[in-house]
Amino acid sequence: MHCPACDSTNTYVADTIKDASGSIRRRRECKACGRRFSTIERIIDNTPLVVKRGGRREPFNRDKILGGLRVSCAKRPVSAEDIERLGELIESQVMALNKGEISARWIGDRVLAGLRELDEVAYIRYAIVYLNLKDLESVKGEIEKLLGER
C-alpha cells in the first residue's frame, strides 16, 4: 500500500475492522513519514448492468449512487457515515439479487426509500430530479404525500 502523503510503500496496518456489508476497513500508518490513513477493501463481484430508461446499459457504479446521495444531502444534518451506510445497503441489495441486469428504476426506488428514512428534505431534493417533478404543483403533491405518511 502506498502512503498518500509520501508515496512510500513502507506502511503497516494498525487496526482492522470488518463491517456488516462485508467491507474491511484498515487503519494504516506510514513508517517513512508517520501519516495515518484508512483504506477500505471490498469484494468485487461481477457487477450487474444497469438498464437505463432509454434502454442503454452501463455497469453498476456505487460511486454514482453516493454522488447523488451527497448532492441531495448537501447542507443537511446527515453525516458522511449515514450516506456511506445507505450506499452500502443499496449496493448489497443489488448484489443480493444476483442478476445480470437490473433496472435503474429499481435502484432509484431504493435510494428514495432510504432518503425518506434518512432526511425528508434530501428525499424531496432527490425526488425532484428522479421523479422528474416539473412544477411547483407536482413538488407540492410529493411533499403532501410525504406529510401524509407521517
| Residues paired with 39 in a beta bridge | 26
pLDDT tens-digit readout, 38-96: 998 877 667 899 999 899 999 999 999 999 999 999 999 999 999 999 999 999 999 88
DSSP string, 58-100: EE--HHHHHHHHHHHTTTSS--HHHHHHHHHHHHHHHHHH--S
Residues 73 and 100 in one domain: yes
- The structural domain count of the chain equals 2
Domain range for 58:
49-149
pTM above 0.85, yes or no: no
Residues 37 and 53 in one domain: no
pLDDT tens-digit readout, 127-140: 999 888 889 988 89
Residues 138 and 75 in one domain: yes
Residues 112 and 140 in one domain: yes
DSSP SS3 for 35: coil
pLDDT band at 146 (very low <50, low <70, confident <90, very high): confident
Task: Kindly state whether residue 1 falls inside one of the protein's structural domains.
Answer: no
